[in-house]
Amino acid sequence: QGLIYRAGVLGHRPAVPTDFAELERRAAATMSPTAWAYVAGGAGEGATMRANRAAFERVRIVPRLLPGNAQRDLSTELLGRRLPAPVLLAPVGAAGLVHRDSDLMIGSAAAELGLPYILSNQGCSPMEEVAAAMGSAPRWFQLYWSTDEPLVDSLLARAAASGAEAVVVTLDTTMLGWRPQDLNLGSLPFSQGIGIAQYTSDPRFQEVVRDRIAAKEAATHAGAAAGAPRDDVKVTVGALRSLLSISREHPGDLRANLRSPTPRASVEAFLDIYSNPGLTWEQLATLRERTDLPFLVKGVLHPDDARRAVQAGASGVVVSNHGGRQVDGAVASLDALPAVRAAVGPDLAVILDSGVRTGSDVVKAIALGADAVAIGRPYIYGLALGGRDGVRDVLANIVAELDLTMGLSGVGSVAQIGPGLLETPS
Ligand code: FNR
């Protein structure tokens, strides 16, 4: 990691900016307006996005001198696997807005670094193809709990078969948040068929859609007999048919537009399948019998929810507000972290995301109780600027800065990062 720093000092210009502000500026200038709105945008007024950063800025490290560590050990054990650094790639759906082969590039970059890639359920290449691009490198699968239980099972089985080492169940997005940037442009990636590759490549998805068409048609006949209006049902059946044709003709093709005469209805039909706003903790607990993989619950901000996740059989939690994209006004994830760690005890895996931008942020999150962090938007900006290598370089820079910050703060290993390294709040 010292190499990156030395190269910079010696006048080698890096491929991607080494600070987030410049990375973001350059990415904004490169990305299409719809991609930018979707990736950079947050919920509502952006209060939680700002709170995420403010929390990191409020917490301060008190560096210690001369610990005698010429080398630092950044490696960390997570769910029984040793990682080169306490950093994961957060699941980012619809990254195909930025680059057609987004997930393959991201997977390949993650594999080069040995950092786990949490592939999104809203991914843009079938998970089997991402797995092939990653070889034996660590990867996890992120699940959105569908309204169709057999589809949940199918996705879990595919994840296990394609070498995922854990499942991350995201519970903060049973519905999409209020995202003005997307709403104002009238753009949602799904309406372009982007971010549905895990579904269209799934045999069960085709069955679900067929079943729902049959159910709607049965309702039409029943409704016709009772003299009910048929227009809504026609629209829905048309929309479902277009979903079915995409999944048959273009399995996994992210550019297969939802080309129905009723695109809005197609998106709605898709959203009706992808996630379940009525999901309960009891349903979540069934996961334990449905997969051998360990699972983590993502989106935890309240200590009681962390406890319920453990009761449901979770091996870990991801403390996250989805990068400020779901509940505007939600607490900063870093502020929620200490109570969550206290609730689950020292042994459970706790990952933090939302607003992590620098190596110094990683130190702060670990000091406050996280085992590791996940990074979202920064690596997508790397993808926009430099493709696969851009993803790698953004992450490598964060890891390099983590190494320097640890060394300069008097810490020799990740295990040595604790609350004692932080200023005590006055
Ligand atoms: C996300 N996130 C997300 N989370 C998830 O569980 N499944 C998903 O499909 C997505 N999709 C997604 C798309 C985009 C464009 C973004 C920016 C984020 C949330 C993500 O996993 C993570 O929680 C946040 O990105 C972390 O915050 P930062 O690092 O972006 O501030």
The three-class DSSP label of residue 319 is strand
Identify the CA nearest to 35 among candidates 181, 213, 251, 201.
181
| Residue owning the nearest CA to atom 9 of ligand 1 | 93
- The yes-or-no answer on residue 99 being catalytic is no
CA 264 to centroid of ligand 1, rounded, Å: 24
Ranges of the chain whose pLDDT falls below 70: 1-4, 227-230, 251-263, 426
204 appears as a binding residue in the annotation: no
Identify the CA nearest to 403 among candidates 366, 363, 375.
363
Express each pLDDT in 17-62 by its tens digit: 999 999 999 999 999 999 999 999 999 999 999 999 999 999 999 9
Express each pLDDT in 71-93 by its tens digit: 999 999 999 999 999 999 999 99
Could you tell me which CATH class the domain 2-175+277-421 is placed in?
alpha beta
377 lines ligand 1 (CB under 6 A): yes
| Residue owning the nearest CA to atom 14 of ligand 1 | 92
For the chain, give every domain's residue range. 2-175+277-421, 189-274
Instruction: Annotate 115-166 with DSSP letters as a single string.
Output: PPEEE-TT-SS-HHHHHHHHTTS-EEEEE---SSHHHHHHHHHHHHHTT-S-
pLDDT at 84: 98
* ipTM for the whole complex: 1.00
Whole-structure pTM value: 0.95
Q: What is the dihedral of CA 71, 72, 76, 81, to 10 degrees?
A: -10
